[in-house]
Amino acid sequence: MSINVVSKIDDLVTVRHVLISVSDKTGLELLVPHLRQLNPQIRFFSTGGTFARLKEILGSDADQCLKQVSDYTGQPETQGGLVKTLDFKIYLGLLTETYNTSHQSDLARTAGVPIDMVVVNLYPFQATIAQAGVTVEQARGNIDIGGPCMIRAAAKNFLRVASVVDPADYERILNELAVRNGCTSLNLRYELACKAFDHTAEYDRNIARYLTHQSLQMVRSCYAFES
């Protein structure tokens, strides 16, 4: 297997396309209008409840700059939101490298766009298992799959993509964008990537600890078995 070796990148990357899918919607009313103010041509992609919240925040501007991920990919969400963002077109947009001609050809072939910023926080697994009487099945249902994948893809490609996992960082990011004409710097993207990988690692550690401490008898009690 050959591995891409990148030799040329941009320090400053203009934020043109932003993918937002969050459980904790705190601060979106600060982040989203300011991003649009910094770049009136910006486009947002989103899913489910986040899409509804962004539509509310953007008001009459939503039709110009907001699109559901399912409309972008051409693939409808599955029942219960089981699969929403796990799509070739999404991950091509996250992982594509600016100066890789094959990647640019793939974007053109799929009518895709490079995604410059991912704003994602995860299903509330810790809050779920902290509830009294929570079942293994309820816990299992709150194990996020698409979120960590998007975060990790964005963080891996810190050469171009900003991976934002903490609403507490929104103001700082907006301040940097303001002084850099709507661009992220490599320094910012690298710092955000480090935080993103730590975030997903801790999330997985919490899941592993929880499952490790459940007895098989308790797990089996949650389900009926076909004979």
Cα–chain-centroid distance for residue 135?
A: 27
Amino acid identity at 54: L
Is the pLDDT score of 80 beyond 60?
Answer: no
User: What is the pLDDT, as a whole number, of residue 78?
Assistant: 62
User: What is the pLDDT, as a whole number, of residue 225?
Assistant: 83
Higher per-residue confidence, 132 vs 55 = 55
Reduced to 3 states (helix: H, G, I; strand: E, B; else coil), residue 43 is strand
- Residues near 188 by Cβ (< 8 Å), separated by ≥ 6? 162, 173, 176
Q: Mean pLDDT over all residues of the chain?
A: 91
Is the pLDDT score of 142 beyond 90?
Answer: no
* β-strand partners of 45: 19, 67
Question: If you search the block for the tokens 């053109």, which residue do you land on?
Answer: 108
User: What is the pLDDT, as a whole number, of residue 1?
Assistant: 63
Higher per-residue confidence, 173 vs 219 = 173
**109 closest CA partner among 90, 89, 84, 95:** 89
d(CA 117, CA 148) in angstroms, rounded, equals 15
Of 30-34, 50-54, 74-78, the one with minimum mean pLDDT is 74-78
The tens digit of pLDDT for each residue in 98-117 reads: 999 988 998 999 999 999 99
- With a pLDDT cut of 90, the percent of the chain lying above it is 66
227 — pLDDT class (breaks 50, 70, 90): low
Question: If you search the block for the tokens 């697994």, which residue do you land on?
Answer: 125
Query: What average pLDDT does the segment 37-63 reach?
Result: 96
CA atoms in the 13 A half-sphere facing the CB of 131: 11
Query: What average pLDDT does the segment 20-40 reach?
Result: 96
The tens digit of pLDDT for each residue in 182-225 reads: 999 999 999 999 999 999 999 999 999 999 988 877 777 878 88
pTM (global) more than 0.75? yes
- Enumerate the domain spans of the chain: 13-220
Q: Characterise 97 by phi-psi region: left (phi > 0), alpha (psi -120 to 50), beta (else).
A: beta
d(CA 64, CA 162) in angstroms, rounded, equals 23
CATH number among 3.40.50.880, 3.40.50.970, 3.30.300.130, 3.40.50.1380, domain 13-220 = 3.40.50.1380
